[in-house]
Amino acid sequence: MSLYQHHLQTLLERYRQACDQFALGAIALHSGSLTYYTNDDNAHPFHPMPLTQQWLPFDLMPEAWLIISKDSAPTLIWPDRPDFWHVTPKLTEGDWQQHWKIVKASQTSISALLPKPVAVLSHQPDGIDFIEPQNVNPVELLNWLNFDRAVKTEWEIEQLRIASQRAVRGHRAAKEAFLSGLCEYDIHLAYLRASKQQQLEEPYGSIVALNEGAAVLHYENKHLEAPKCSNTLLIDAGAKINGYASDITRTFTQGNDFFLDLVKAVDALQLRLCQQCTVGTNYLDIHNSALQEIAALLHQSGLCKLGVEEQLAKKVTQTFFPHGIGHLLGLNVHDAGGLQQNRQGDLATRPEHAPFLRLMRPLQNNTVVTIEPGLYFIPMLLEKMIAEIPEHGCDLKLIETLKPFGGIRIEDNVVAKAEGTLNLTRTSFEEINFSDS
């Protein structure tokens, strides 16, 4: 059985179980419709509904439908609309077609094909007038299906591996562009070219930050002018394949040995945190380890004279590492269901010391997550610390010298496996040579 066939089998099992649970004959999934800017004939970039995209090994077009029924083969209804203004969608060739019943939308009306009772899942529920409103996007069904998305099939892991490999080619090119003194915009172009994607195809807007920009967690500028001195590049950028995303960050620096040592130390502690991604580990424990690691580094490097326990008690460490250690990764960059504790949709409450943590589940076999510790010199948070924690113990003079370097983040995409951790990003860096790019 191919990886894709196995993937399809797993999804069919999950959906048929959901049909039993909710007394349904079928679940119909819409890929989505194009939406438009106000008073404009320009459409927003199209992002297919992830639950729909998950079923197929190619990028879904708008207005495709899937029907997953309890006892017949899955059906794909694809839009066959001759339109001389646009490219007519064509079906991707391949073995996947053997496992699907394929129907052209022009030959049928979707409602006539639906075994009843049916639930419909769509980004655009308002346009669905052929079934009762309570059967459109039922929250209980969405919770049920989204919970299972955290555990990837081997086919999905293969997509995520390819997405990592594409991004890694871009990261290598971005490093070279940084060392050549290029501006953020040109570094981004080098990234896009090497990862073979257009800006609109990126899974999220790349963060390409030089110097102080690296202290802005979701820095959005891409300046056209290079700074006089390029101290740091923090690049957080991914790529997609068949809808599956990578989400990778690297920090490069030059000109300051102290900051370089900090980058090396964050890289080393990030690897230790990745090793904790094993089956049964609660992700909150990895976040807590990250806080401990960053606190130890602040102390050892002389940035903060308080020890680990005192820093954590006073929440000094969060000034330098304010975000969560990472999140689920898949068809969404921040994949669905991170706070869900079960298929019923009960949510975990984030502890006060980790207000931005996006994942609070024990890791299961084949859960894919990011691990992304950081250490930043963020003026706004430093001022808050100085105002609110009188005995913070930080060396403010030393910190002042590091502000022009912004900050550090290292982010990998990893799979929790029964036999240990599989790091999709590090293996990509090891496997890909410049000559392949």
| Footprint on this chain of ligand GLY (rule: CB under 6 A) | 204, 236, 247, 372, 411
- Residue number with the smallest Cβ distance to ligand GLY: 236
How many residues at the interface with Mn ion, by CB under 5 A? Answer: 5
Q: Which residue's CB is nearer to Mn ion, number 135 or number 370?
A: 370
Q: Measured from the CB of residue 150, what is the shortest distance to Mn ion in angstroms?
A: 15
Residue closer to ligand GLY by CB (options 248, 394) is: 248
Nearer to Mn ion, 189 or 245 (CB): 245
- State yes or no: residue 425 binds Mn ion (CB under 5 A): no
- Least CB distance to Mn ion at residue 339 (A): 16
Is the Cβ of residue 149 or residue 392 nearer to ligand GLY in the bound state? 149
230 binds, among ligand GLY, Mn ion, none (CB under 5 to 8 A by kind): none
- Which does residue 429 touch among ligand GLY, Mn ion, none (CB within 5 to 8 A, set by kind)? none
The one segment of 63-71, 112-120, 226-234, 406-414 that binds Mn ion by CB under 5 A:
406-414
- Residue number with CB closer to ligand GLY (48 or 338): 338
For residue 389, give the amino acid letter. Answer: I
75 or 232: whose CB is closer to Mn ion?
Answer: 232
CB of 186 or CB of 411, closer to Mn ion: 411
Based on the shown chain and the rule CB under 5 A, indicate whether residue 335 belongs to the binding site for Mn ion.
no
How many whole angstroms separate alpha carbon 128 and alpha carbon 146? 21
What is the nearest approach in angstroms of ligand GLY to the Cβ of residue 421?
19
With binding defined as CB under 5 A, does residue 370 bind Mn ion?
Answer: yes
Nearer to Mn ion, 3 or 217 (CB): 217
Task: Please list every residue from 292 through 331 that binds Mn ion, using CB under 5 A.
Answer: none
Of these, 158, 186, 202, 247, which contacts Mn ion (CB under 5 A)?
247
202 binds, among ligand GLY, Mn ion, none (CB under 5 to 8 A by kind): none
The Cα–Cα gap between 298 and 162 comes to 36
Q: Is 236 one of the binding residues for Mn ion (CB under 5 A)?
A: yes
Gyration radius of the chain's alpha carbons? 24
By the rule CB under 5 A, 184 interacts with Mn ion: no
> In this complex, which beta carbon is closest to Mn ion, that of residue 186 or of residue 247?
247
Distance of closest approach, residue 293 Cβ to Mn ion, in angstroms: 18
Give min distance, CB of 151 to Mn ion, in A: 19
Residue 240 Cβ vs ligand GLY, minimum distance, rounded to whole Å? 13
The sign of the CA dihedral 124, 125, 127, 130 is positive
Chain positions 193 to 222 lying near Mn ion, rule: CB under 5 A, are: none
Minimum distance between the CB of residue 374 and Mn ion, rounded to whole angstroms?
Answer: 10
SS (H, E, C) the chain: CCHHHHHHHHHHHHHHHHHHHCCCCEEEEECCCCCECCCCCCECCCCCCHHHHCCCCCCCCCCCEEEEECCCCCEEEECCCCCCCCCCCCCCCCHHHHHCEEEEHHHCCHHHHCCCCEEEECCCHHHCCCCCHHHECCHHHHHHHHHHCCECCHHHHHHHHHHHHHHHHHHHHHHHHHHCCCCHHHHHHHHHHHCCCCHHHCCCCCEEEEHHHHHCCCCCCCCCCCCCCCCEEEEEECCEECCEECCEEEEEECCCHHHHHHHHHHHHHHHHHHHCCCCCCEHHHHHHHHHHHHHHHHHHCCCECCCHHHHHHHCCHHHHCCCCCCCECCCCCCCCCCCECCCCCCECCCCCCCCCCCCCCECCCCEEEEECCEEECCHHHHHHHHHHCCCCCECHHHHHHHHHHCEEECEEEEEEECCEEEEHHHHHHHHCCHHHC
Contacting residues toward Mn ion, per CB under 5 A: 236, 247, 249, 370, 411
